[in-house]
């Protein structure tokens, strides 16, 4: 399998490393001609305004959009999720716009700029996944046919629509290969396209501000967090948030 990683800006090498570890041939993509012969494309995190501008300057927006419309698999992480959404009210540039979701950029606000959370992702073997969120977007609305793979505090943070996969967190900044494996399995058909979790009516998630729902008591007390103490576990592990001062490779470029 030959998988391209959009290499205009952002956490490119991390994705290439993950895909290579899964025995895929992973190649950087900067030009439209480099899309030829690929089985899929990953759109990394970074800064969605910058990436969308570069996509347009390099003549990549339209070819990628067309490919996706023909069933070509795409996987977007964080800024990549923003770029795959059809609606992004607070993005100045045009997104690739192929997934039936509405996304709000930088939705968690300054106070919880960067955090980690133990997520429940039933579609992955073994269920839990450590999510690293850096200036993350949130999915505010998902149209019918979009499968919600994971929610955090009642908001979707990972979705799939056919062979389009997107998440608000950064699996490429962990050493857990399962989310990337899930994507590769979509290409080979090892994951059932019959998705019981997808819904038949549009779902909106406007009911509360994500920053408010993520305001666990500790998130309001940054001084505790700055001591890097382990956080008290909430009963539901998907509700446990940790501010992170830890440096992850690649997070500087994503922290915009």
Question: What is the set of active-site residues?
Answer: 78, 170, 172
CB of 11 to ligand GLN, least distance (A): 8
Query: Counting beta carbons within 10 angstroms of the beta carbon of residue 230, is it exposed (0 to 12), middle (13 to 18) or buried (19 or more)?
Result: exposed
Which C-beta is closer to ligand GLN: that of 92 or that of 125? Answer: 92
Integer Rg of the chain from CA:
17
53 binds ligand GLN (CB under 6 A): no
Rounded Cα distance between 133 and 244, Å, is 9
- Return the residue of 29, 43, 107, 134 that touches ligand GLN, per CB under 6 A: 134
Which C-beta is closer to ligand GLN: that of 167 or that of 191? Answer: 167
CB of 106 to ligand GLN, least distance (A): 5
| 3-class secondary-structure state, position 217 | helix
- Return the residue of 105, 141, 191, 248 that touches ligand GLN, per CB under 6 A: 105
Strand bridging mode 155-161 / 147-152: antiparallel
CB of 119 to ligand GLN, least distance (A): 16
**Segment near ligand GLN (CB under 6 A), from 14-22, 74-82, 173-181, 206-214?**
74-82
**Segment near ligand GLN (CB under 6 A), from 40-48, 139-147, 149-157, 203-211?**
40-48
Question: In terms of DSSP H, where are the helices of the chain?
Answer: 12-21, 48-57, 61-69, 79-84, 178-188, 210-213, 222-226, 251-254
**Running DSSP on this structure, what letter comes out for residue 177?**
-
CB of 117 to ligand GLN, least distance (A): 14
Rounded Cα distance between 27 and 13, Å, is 10
CB of 160 to ligand GLN, least distance (A): 19
* In contact, 143 and 101? CB cutoff 8 Å: yes
87 binds ligand GLN (CB under 6 A): no
CB of 54 to ligand GLN, least distance (A): 12
- Return the residue of 15, 26, 40, 46 that touches ligand GLN, per CB under 6 A: 46
- Return the residue of 9, 48, 161, 174 that touches ligand GLN, per CB under 6 A: 48
Letters for 155-194 (x = contact with ligand GLN by CB under 6 A, - = none) are: ----------------------------------------
78 binds ligand GLN (CB under 6 A): yes
Rounded Cα distance between 155 and 70, Å, is 29
| Two structure tokens written together for 35 | 């899309």
- The kind and range of the H/E element at 89 are none
| 3-class secondary-structure state, position 222 | helix
Contacts of 13 (CB under 8 A, 6+ apart): 250
Tell me which residues touch ligand GLN (CB under 6 A).
45-48, 78-79, 82, 105-106, 134-135, 137, 254, 256
């Amino acid at each position: 399998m030959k998988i391209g990683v959009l290499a205009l800006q952002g956490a490119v090498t991390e994705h290439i490393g993950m895909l290579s570890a899964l025995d895929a041939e992973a190649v950087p993509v900067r030009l439209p001609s480099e899309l030829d012969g690929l089985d899929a494309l990953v759109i990394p995190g970074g800064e969605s305004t910058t990436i969308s501008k570069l996509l347009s300057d390099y003549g990549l927006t339209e070819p990628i959009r067309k490919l996706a419309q023909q069933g070509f698999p795409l996987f977007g992480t964080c800024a990549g999720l923003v770029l795959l959404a059809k609606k992004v009210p607070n993005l100045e540039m045009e997104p690739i716009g192929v997934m039936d979701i509405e996304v709000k950029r930088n939705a968690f606000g300054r106070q919880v700029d960067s955090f980690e959370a133990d997520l429940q992702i039933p579609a992955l073997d073994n269920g839990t996944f450590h999510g690293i969120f850096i200036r993350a977007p949130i999915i505010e609305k998902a149209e019918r046919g979009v499968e919600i793979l994971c929610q955090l505090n009642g908001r979707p943070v990972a979705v799939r629509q056919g062979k389009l996969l997107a998440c608000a967190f950064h699996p490429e900044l962990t050493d857990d290969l399962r989310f990337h494996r899930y994507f590769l399995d979509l290409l080979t058909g090892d994951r059932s396209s019959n998705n019981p979790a997808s819904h038949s009516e549009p779902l909106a998630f406007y009911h509360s501000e994500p920053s408010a729902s993520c305001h666990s008591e500790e998130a309001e007390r940054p001084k505790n967090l700055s001591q890097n103490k382990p956080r008290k576990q909430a009963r539901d592990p998907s509700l446990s948030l940790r501010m992170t001062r830890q440096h992850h490779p690649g997070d500087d470029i994503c922290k915009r």
